[in-house]
Amino acid sequence: MAKVICVQLVSALHYNLLFQDVDIVWYKHPLEYFQSPDKMGDSDFDVFFQDDGGHSTRYAPYSANSGFYYVKHNDRTQYFLTSLLLAGDLILKTDSHQQALIALLSEHVSLYGLKVKIMSRDTPEFPGGYHYHQASKRYMKSFFAKEVDPYIFHMSWTKNKDNKLLFFQQMGDWYVNEQCVHQKVDDVAIDDGGTFVSTCCSAEALIECHYRDKPSIVQCKSSPPIDKGHGSWW
């Protein structure tokens, strides 16, 4: 419910807002995209969602990813977010914030004229776990070749937070020193003469191989596979 309450409160203060999960890294500021006339044109949509990538019946008809979205404040979006807050029982019953959100999207589009935009899952600016785990390797090959210029990377479609961390390390997108991982601020031993930031944050990417069959910025052929019997991703 925390993902619902924080968004509803900001909307109630009449702000536009960008919500994201913590399993996202930024390459460029995403608000530059949503506030750019060149990117958005004269769009009159109320909410913009990253495509989840999975187009199953459970997430039909929108397949909106509830871990990354932009909301313009108006009466329609404020009512939608308030309705989501009041639908806490639906979230608990489905055990899915995303499933409940999509169900309410459909209702508010039909009954109240909410204007929803789901960015195509092939939109190169906003990749996620769908692209990371893609069997064709098409997007990730372009990513490492710097043929695409994304704003973010969302490590969705991943079993748990431990694997997300390992995958970010392989991608070259991890900058948190080991002594600070999974630690509360008060439990971190600060380096002599240093600060929390200098102790915990690396200026260079902390690249580490874990699984040979997952995308990596360097070749990890000597690492074991995460899926039994799989060869090198490279």
Give residue-wise pLDDT tens across range 141-187. 999 999 999 999 999 999 999 999 999 999 999 999 999 999 999 99
Q: Which helix (H) or strand (E) holds 50?
A: strand 47-51
pLDDT tier for residue 133 given thresholds of 50, 70 and 90: very high
Q: How confident is the model at residue 51 (pLDDT cuts 50, 70, 90)?
A: very high
Please state, in angstroms and rounded to a whole number, the distance separating the CA atoms of residues 118 and 52.
9
Which residues lie below 8 Å from residue 3, measured CB to CB, with a gap of 6+?
19, 66, 97
Mean pLDDT rounded to a whole number for the chain: 94
CB 150 within 8 A of CB 124: yes
Could you report the per-residue pLDDT of 136-153, keeping only the tens digit for each? Answer: 999 999 999 999 999 999
Report whether pLDDT(41) > 80: no
Q: Kindly write down the DSSP assignment for every residue of 138-159, as one continuous string.
A: HHHHHHHTT----SEEE--S-S
pTM for the predicted model, two decimal places: 0.92
| Residue pLDDT, tens place only, 79-119 | 999 999 999 999 999 889 999 999 999 999 999 999 999 99
**3-class secondary-structure state, position 24:** strand
Q: Three-state DSSP class for 210?
A: coil
What does the pLDDT look like over 15-37, one tens digit per residue? 999 999 999 999 999 999 998 87
Asked if 157 and 130 count as a contact pair (C-beta separation under 8 A), the reply is: yes
